[in-house]
Chain A
Amino acid sequence: MSKELENRIRVFRAEHRLSQSELAEKIGVTRKTISTIEVGRFVPSTIIALKIARFFKAPVEEIFSLNDDNTNDREDN
């Protein structure tokens, strides 16, 4: 399941010069939650995804996306 969801949290963190702990603190989750989302181990809830997007002032789709294979499947249907 988590392999279908890609994210660019690490890139956004790098741009904002934030550690996982700092981002976790800002959006009210734990560092473990951020780190497992980043590596694709944990699929975040809509609420967490929206909180992350709001914090980075970016659309959710810019941070989270479905991988290409699945996108193609959906477009074919």
Chain B
Amino acid sequence: MTSKNTAEVIETSLKRTALGLSLLTLSFGMSLLAYFSDGEVVDNIKIAQKVISFFVIVIVLPAFYNMMKIRMGNKAQCNDIDNYIAETFRYAGVFAFSITFVALIALEIINRNIGQELPTIVYLQSAKFITIGSFTSYFYLKLHRDKFDEAEDDFSDEDA
């Protein structure tokens, strides 16, 4: 930790945040499932969501703490988020917004055509699920795809 530079701490924090968000996607998806289920299934979903919430806090809290520490203690480098992961994070946000917008329009059309009014809570849960889900999907797919471009060239070990 002490050997990490600011950029690495920020990158690790962003990765932890993304991991927390992917768990939240699971939780929001379960909420949606709970609406269409009943009885024991709903109870189990609630227990699973509590476990997920615990893990989200454990994963995201250190990331949040590290980011705040950098921002408070190193004001001159507050804008030091100029790295590849941060850019991927921003693109994921734009992608998630677009997908959510299209999905909400689609939901509205489907709702109109089935002739049955879905409750507001279903829209809200769907929007949260789609937003966070598309965000994390984009983030991890892009990182996974780009991993194949990498090649560490350790010239320092070669003889002159």
Contacts and interface: CB of A to CB of B under 8 A. Distances in A.
B130 interface: no
A10 B54 CA distance: 44
A20 B7 CA distance: 14
A29 B83 contact: yes
Contacts of B155: 13-14, 16-19
Interface residues of A, number: 28
B40 interface: no
A44 B146 CA distance: 16
The prevalent SS among residues of A at the interface is helix
Interface residues of B, number: 23
A42 B7 CA distance: 15
Residue of A17, A30, A37, A39 most packed against chain B (CB within 10 A): A30
B105 interface: no
Contact of A47 (B6, B82, B156): B82
B152 A28 contact: no
B84 A19 contact: no
Given A18-B156, A29-B7, A39 B150 contact: yes
A31 B157 CA distance: 17
B38 interface: no
Contacts of B85: 30, 32-33
Interface string A1-25: 0000000001001101111111011
A16 B158 CA distance: 11
A29 B156 contact: no
15 contacts: A14-B153, A17-B160, A18-B156, A19-B156, A25-B5, A28-B5, A28-B7, A30-B7, A30-B83, A32-B150, A33-B7, A35-B149, A35-B150, A36-B146, A36-B149
Interface of A: 10, 13-14, 16-22, 24-25, 28-33, 35-37, 39, 41-42, 44-45, 47-48
